[in-house]
């Protein structure tokens, strides 16, 4: 049987950004888009150019991806103006994107109440806006907002909206369950009818999770004939969230009903990155991952000791519906944790480190990682710290310098103008050569807008012979999370550094009961990583 192609459309950076508490920076967007591209997502919707400075900046230059079609979001033009005179639509058309996904009304109730225009005017807006996107040489998609509610209220009009967009040249007509209230059997019935107007290989599905059916609704639509799936990583999104692409991808590839009929842009190797991608997004959002998330949660393949565990050791198929390694997750048992080892080997492989699987250093690294994770470290969002840890254990990383001591002072006082100000000052005492040969310490003092910034400044002031390696390093982002798992709270800090010339970015982690100490550890890893990457000679 030849397989049909299903297309995955990720809207984490647009619809997902509607989640309360979620605010992506430009750097976040760049990283997430690249990650989605590498995973094998077909369309990455990056935001709404012209709507806010971050999205405008994101679309201000061409971003080339290996797999993904870089897509912007916009709205159909307002009635009573031409497409050329609609600032919103023009803002979108000025952005650098390969495709544009426009949202258009498909429910006559909304047309009447929200837009206060005639049904016919709305159809014209759809036709002309889609036409303008096509004329600009881009692929056009249309999200038919409230399509299912619209269809229930006035099927002829909802269908007319879909048909109008398709005939105007939309590559995809996406049926949206915008308020998330539709159930799977309704989705199946309605999609079957819509297919008589727009062919299934031009139809998409966009669902929300307000009845906990977003993923089920997506599959109902696929079975009924749609061939594009919209969703977000981890199902983030407004209210109860969007359809979770993580679960959808795993089901499409691992469940025979779908795997036999469809193919997507992922290979089994890419699928094995799914857990990493899911947790990376949580790290970027500074959220604790959902332990019970399907496929990728920490508990998804956890089994308590007892008859289940011993049966799983004999044959995992006894209790597991899929193999955890397939999605890059691991089996958690109290005994015989072999999966952990294969994960470590895979991570080393990704860094280009080739070691035999029976090399005792692999077991040592695994033990070290587990021990560190138990006290709060997380390496999903801190690749550079993981690489340093691994390479140190393998004996690859020279000792460049050692920090003898540091001190931070935070003072609230009156300045010369009599205003109350808070001043942070840090000093750091560093030995190059480890101080063994009697070399004098390098002692640096700096002020900063906060204790961590002051420490960072002090550390970068004078690293002696290594100074030239860190001249272009800058701290881009800094995230703090208080972990309250054990008896006392622990702080985990994630630091993102960048080389301002090469644009290379790397992420490090520090953990301590003390926030300044945790930050300092992450800062040190950031500098050591740079020295290692640039081949700085040992002290
Ligand atoms: Zn939505």
Distance 238 CA to ligand 1 centre (A): 8
Per-residue model confidence as pLDDT tens digits over 346-359: 778 878 888 888 89
Ramachandran area for residue 203 (φ above 0: left; ψ -120 to 50: alpha; else beta): beta
What is the model's pLDDT at position 436?
Answer: 58
- The Cα 436–Cα 75 span in angstroms is 66
Long-range contacts, 407-415 (Cβ 8 Å, 24+): 408/451, 408/454, 408/455, 408/516, 410/451
Q: For residue 150, how far is its CA from the centre of ligand 1 (angstroms)?
A: 15
Q: What CA–CA distance (Å, rounded) separates 290 from 295? A: 11
- Helices 515-533, 383-393: inter-axial angle, 10-degree rounding: 70
Distance (Å) from CA 184 to ligand 1 centroid:
17
Least confident piece of the model among 21-25, 341-345, 394-398: 341-345
Give the pair of three-digit tokens for residue 263: 């193919």
**What pTM, to 2 d.p., does this model score?**
0.75
pLDDT digits (tens, 9 = 90+) for 145-200: 999 999 999 999 999 999 999 999 999 999 999 999 999 999 999 999 999 999 99
74-to-103, 212, 314, 331 alpha-carbon distances in Å: 6, 27, 54, 43
pLDDT in tens, 79-104: 989 999 999 999 999 999 999 999 99
Looking up tokens 């159809």 gives: 123
* C-alpha of residue 361 to centroid of ligand 1, in Å: 48
What is the whole-number distance in angstroms between the Cα of residue 207 and the centre of ligand 1? 7
Torsion of CA 366, 369, 374, 380, to 10 degrees: -120
CB 73 within 8 A of CB 14: yes
Task: Tell me the CA–centroid distance for residue 341 and ligand 1, in Å.
Answer: 40
- The DSSP-derived string for 207-245 is EB-TTS-HHHHHHHHHHHT--EEEEBGGG--STT-B-BH
Please give the distance, rounded to the nearest whole angstrom, from the Cα atom of residue 355 to the centre of ligand 1: 46
Q: Which of 52-56, 137-141, 330-334, 473-477 has the lowest mean pLDDT?
A: 330-334
* Residue closest to 464 by CA, chosen among 486, 442, 490, 496: 442
Distance of CA 252 to the CA centre of its chain: 20
């Amino acid at each position: 049987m030849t397989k049909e192609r299903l297309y995955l459309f990720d809207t984490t950076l647009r619809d997902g950004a509607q989640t309360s508490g979620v605010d992506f920076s430009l750097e976040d967007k760049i990283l997430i888009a690249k990650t989605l591209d590498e995973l094998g997502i077909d369309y990455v919707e990056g935001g709404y150019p012209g709507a806010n400075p971050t999205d405008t900046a994101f679309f201000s230059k061409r971003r080339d991806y290996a797999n993904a079609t870089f897509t912007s979001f916009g709205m159909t033009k307002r009635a009573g103006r031409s497409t050329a005179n609609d600032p919103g639509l023009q803002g979108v058309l000025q952005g650098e994107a390969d495709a544009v996904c426009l949202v258009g009304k498909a429910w006559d109730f909304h047309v009447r109440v929200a837009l206060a225009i005639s049904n016919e005017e709305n159809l014209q807006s759809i036709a002309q806006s889609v036409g303008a996107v096509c004329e600009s040489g881009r692929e056009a998609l249309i999200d038919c907002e409230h399509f299912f509610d619209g269809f229930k209220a006035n099927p002829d009009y909802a269908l007319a909206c879909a048909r109008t967009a398709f005939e105007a040249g939309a590559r995809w007509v996406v049926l949206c369950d915008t308020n998330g209230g539709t159930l799977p059997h309704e989705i199946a019935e309605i999609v079957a009818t819509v297919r008589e107007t727009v062919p299934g290989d031009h139809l998409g599905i966009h669902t929300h999770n307000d009845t906990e059916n977003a993923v089920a609704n997506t599959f109902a639509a696929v079975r009924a004939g749609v061939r594009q799936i919209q969703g977000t990583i981890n199902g983030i999104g407004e209210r109860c969230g969007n359809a979770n692409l993580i679960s959808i991808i795993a089901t499409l590839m691992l469940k025979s009903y779908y795997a036999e009929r469809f193919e997507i842009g992922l290979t089994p190797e890419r699928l094995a990155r799914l857990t990493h991608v899911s947790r990376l997004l949580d790290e970027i959002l500074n959220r604790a991952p959902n332990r019970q998330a399907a496929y990728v949660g920490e508990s998804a393949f956890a089994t308590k000791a007892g008859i289940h565990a011993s049966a799983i050791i004999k044959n995992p198929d006894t209790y597991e519906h899929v193999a955890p390694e397939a999605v890059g997750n691991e089996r958690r048992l109290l005994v015989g944790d072999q999966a952990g080892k294969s994960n470590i080997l895979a991570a080393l492989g990704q860094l280009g480190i080739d070691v035999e699987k029976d090399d005792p250093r692999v077991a040592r690294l695994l033990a070290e990682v587990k021990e560190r994770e138990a006290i709060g470290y997380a390496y999903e969002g801190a690749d550079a710290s993981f690489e340093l840890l691994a390479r140190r254990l393998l004996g690859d990383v020279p000792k460049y310098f050692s920090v003898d001591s540091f001190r931070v002072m935070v003072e609230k006082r009156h300045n010369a103008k009599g205003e109350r100000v808070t001043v942070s000052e840090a000093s750091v005492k560093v030995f190059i050569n480890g101080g063994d040969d009697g070399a004098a310490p390098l002692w640096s003092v700096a002020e900063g807008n906060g204790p961590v910034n002051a420490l960072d400044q002090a550390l970068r002031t004078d690293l002696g012979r290594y100074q030239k390696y860190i001249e272009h390093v800058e701290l881009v982002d800094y995230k703090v999370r208080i972990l309250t798992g054990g008896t006392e709270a622990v702080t985990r800090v994630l630091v993102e550094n960048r080389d301002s010339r090469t644009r290379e970015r790397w992420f490090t982690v520090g953990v301590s009961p003390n926030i300044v100490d945790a930050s300092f550890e992450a800062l040190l890893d950031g500098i050591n990583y740079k020295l290692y990457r640039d081949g700085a000679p040992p002290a």
